[in-house]
Amino acid sequence: MKKQYGRATVIGYSLFLIVISALMTVLFYHIFIFQTFSSTSEEAEVKLIELSAEQVKNSPIKDANSIIEVMSYGCHFCAANEENVARMVNNLPEGVSFSAIHIVKEGNPLAAYAPVFATLEEMGIEKEKRDEIYNSVIARGVNLANDSVLEGWLVKNNISVDRYDAVRQSQAVKDRLNYMAAVSQYYNINATPMFIVNKRYVMVQDGTFPEFAQKMIQLLQKGEQNP
């Protein structure tokens, strides 16, 4: 973390990332979810992609009875849903697992913070620091994709820079990044948040979160009945 950048450059790049990330997510939702530019005025229905049995078989995801949230630290929809997701996880049926992964997609600004996610997760403190990261990236425009800025953020949040650097270079973090990239690629994730249910269904929220969560549970039960 030796490379230094001018303050104007850091602020400018931070704003660029936030604006592009927000525009990509909002545009995705309006085109594919809310159908703002559609010629019809029908109410939005559940947006669902279902994979074939063969595709499910070849999925990089191992756990069958699972819900995986694909999120990004630069996604304000993800930040807004944190409490809703936590409530859903607390009420999942027995035997169902939940995990969150960061989008990893080359050229996608939402993926810029994936190394931070993977490193903090391997350190065992990602969940604990997530709200602060959302607040830093989205509300204050802190560019954690920049090494110099990240180092200052780590110090401010009482995280050892030396330990972070060591973990960041570990094989475990590389494996996490490779896994998240494989899932993002296999399920063609280009915006966040997206939810992958039972390895088979890719969903985006279409209404209030409690109703959306119930639909995911129903798909889990459907998968159990029709493996």
Give the list of residues 6+ apart from residue 182 with CB closer than 8 angstroms, or none: 60
Distance, in Å, from the CA atom of 21 to the CA atom of 136, rounded to the nearest integer, reads 15
Q: Work out the average pLDDT over 41-66.
A: 81
Answer yes or no: is 43 within a domain: yes
Query: Which string of b and e fits 192-209 if b means at least 16 CB within 10 Å?
Result: bbbbbbbbbbbbbbbeee
Q: How far apart are CA 82 and CA 78, in angstroms?
A: 7
* pLDDT at position 33 over 50: no
Q: Residue 30: pLDDT above 50?
A: no
Residue 13: predicted pLDDT: 55
Query: Residue 29 belongs to what domain range?
Result: 7-225
Summary mean pLDDT of the chain: 85
Which structure tokens are listed for 118?
């993977």
Q: How far apart are CA 125 and CA 34, in angstroms?
A: 35
Bridge partner residues of 202 (DSSP): 49, 196
- CATH at 193: 3.40.30.10
Number of independent structural domains in the chain: 1
Whether 191 maps to a domain, the answer reads: yes
Angle at 20 (CA atoms; ends 14, 23), nearest 5 degrees: 140
Each residue's pLDDT tens digit, 118-144: 999 999 999 999 999 999 999 999 999
Q: What is the pTM of this model?
A: 0.79
Classify residue 140: in a domain, yes or no. yes
pLDDT band for 156, please (50, 70, 90 cuts). very high
Q: Is 135 part of a structural domain of the chain?
A: yes
In 3D space, the residue among 181, 182, 193 whose CA is nearest the CA of residue 47 turns out to be 193
Q: Is residue 1 part of a domain?
A: no
Per-residue pLDDT, averaged over 181-210, amounts to 94
> Is 207 part of any domain?
yes
148 domain-assigned: yes
The C-alpha atoms of residue 161 and residue 164 are separated, in whole angstroms, by 5
Output the pLDDT for position 204.
93
Which distant-in-sequence residues (6+ apart) come within 8 Å of 99 by Cβ?
66, 68, 69
In sequence order, the 6+-apart residues with CB closer than 8 A to the CB of 30 are 36, 37
- Contacts of residue 34, Cβ cutoff 8 Å, sequence gap at least 6: 44
Domain assignment present for 2: no
